């Protein structure tokens, strides 16, 4: 398997699905609709919907009910980037080489665009109720998926992590280990966890298997973030497309800063190995997911 080709194929498939859920750019509110579509189209590999779809398929899912949740997940991820880039937050004018949403549409529209994407994510998720007549899916599986989707994105998930992160930046290197782990778990891990969990829930995976999936996804999220911090120290600037060493210059507390490079590399390795071991325990073809997880963690940019 050429993992890069397989990912590209799936990214194209997922972009086609997401496109069907994006709003038409018309009406008196046209500007915010343009800003939403601009922000979503600026996205990358669609890692989260890909993890959701692959987990859904691993547990035998094959219905359209997953599609609104895939689109919703990408909208939630996108809204978080749009608001993170705002002047009062990270104040970034460029993301992946393109002007950020507020840089193009202004700050007021940047705020409204993020709000619109977050709300539209949940509006889109409710379309799952139209994709099936199965009463068990309607009355139990979709509600359970909506609970995970909302919880992991909010104060007991991503927004919780963002809050601690905003405060940690003021604290600089006095940040303690527990709080750093909370930030990584929630800011980066939570949406990866809910992506995979929702795939499992909608496919009818057991409670026990959902817990295993959550563990795999948490390991991957944490390893992904530590690798990000490692690349900021030893990455190739030409491949990364940005200068290295920014965390140290900004006195940003990271796993690498707290534990050093060797311990960080070891941590990424052990987290990933554990995740792949649990994954191998499931019946069914886990080969793409295994390679995808390793690709995500051991990337060079």
Cβ-count burial of 283 within 10 angstroms (0-12 exposed, 13-18 middle, 19+ buried)? exposed
CB-based burial, 143-165: b 16+ in 10 Å, e otherwise: eebbebbbebbeeebbbbbbebb
Candidates 27-35, 40-48, 207-215, 273-281; binding stretch for a copy of itself (CB under 8 A): 27-35
| 122 contacts a copy of itself (rule: CB under 8 A) | yes
Q: Site for a copy of itself (CB under 8 A): which residue of 135, 262, 283, 300?
A: 135
Q: From start to end of 52-156, where are the E strands? A: 94-95, 98-99
Point out which residues pair with 94 in neighbouring strands: 99
Q: Site for a copy of itself (CB under 8 A): which residue of 7, 183, 201, 230?
A: 183
Cβ-count burial of 86 within 10 angstroms (0-12 exposed, 13-18 middle, 19+ buried)? middle
Q: Site for a copy of itself (CB under 8 A): which residue of 32, 231, 271, 293?
A: 32
Q: Site for a copy of itself (CB under 8 A): which residue of 153, 222, 275, 279?
A: 153
Which residues are CB-neighbours of 155 under 8 A, at least 6 positions away?
Answer: 163
| 295 contacts a copy of itself (rule: CB under 8 A) | no
Q: Site for a copy of itself (CB under 8 A): which residue of 108, 207, 238, 262?
A: 108
Alpha carbon 89 to chain centroid distance?
Answer: 19
| 150 contacts a copy of itself (rule: CB under 8 A) | yes
* Distance in angstroms (rounded) separating the CA atoms of residues 31 and 46: 24
| 240 contacts a copy of itself (rule: CB under 8 A) | no
Q: Site for a copy of itself (CB under 8 A): which residue of 3, 111, 244, 258?
A: 111
Is residue 195 within 8 A of residue 51, CB to CB? The reply is yes
| 37 contacts a copy of itself (rule: CB under 8 A) | no
Residues that bind a copy of itself (CB under 8 A): 23, 27-29, 31-33, 36, 79, 83, 86-89, 106-112, 114-116, 118-120, 122-123, 126, 129, 135, 138-140, 142-143, 146-147, 150-151, 153-155, 159-164, 166-167, 179, 182-183, 186
């Amino acid at each position: 398997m050429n993992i890069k080709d397989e990912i590209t194929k799936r990214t194209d498939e997922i972009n086609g699905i997401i496109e069907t859920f994006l709003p038409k750019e018309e009406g008196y509110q046209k500007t915010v609709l343009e800003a939403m579509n601009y922000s979503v189209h600026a996205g990358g590999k669609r890692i989260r919907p890909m993890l959701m779809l692959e987990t859904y398929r691993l547990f035998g899912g094959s219905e359209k009910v997953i599609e609104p949740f895939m689109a919703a997940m990408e909208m939630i991820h996108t809204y978080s980037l749009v608001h993170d880039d705002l002047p009062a937050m990270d104040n970034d004018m460029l993301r992946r080489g393109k002007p950020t949403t507020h840089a193009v549409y202004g700050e007021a529209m940047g705020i409204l665009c993020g709000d619109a994407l977050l709300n539209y994510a949940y509006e889109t998720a409710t379309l799952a109720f139209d994709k099936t007549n199965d009463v068990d899916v309607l009355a139990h599986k979709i509600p359970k998926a909506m609970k995970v989707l909302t919880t992991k994105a909010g104060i007991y998930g991503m927004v919780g992590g963002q809050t601690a992160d905003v405060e940690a930046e003021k604290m600089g290197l006095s940040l303690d280990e527990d709080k750093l782990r909370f930030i990584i778990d929630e800011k980066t891990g939570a949406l990866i966890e809910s992506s995979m969990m929702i795939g499992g829930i909608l496919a009818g995976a057991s409670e026990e298997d959902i817990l295993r999936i959550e563990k795999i996804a948490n390991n991957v999220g944490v390893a992904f973030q530590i690798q990000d911090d490692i690349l900021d120290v030893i990455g190739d600037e030409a491949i990364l497309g940005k200068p290295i060493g920014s965390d140290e210059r900004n006195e940003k507390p990271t796993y690498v800063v707290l534990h050093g490079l060797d311990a960080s590399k070891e941590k990424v390795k052990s987290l990933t190995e554990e995740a792949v071991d649990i994954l191998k325990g499931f019946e069914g073809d886990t080969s793409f997911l295994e390679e995808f997880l390793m690709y995500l963690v051991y990337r060079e940019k």
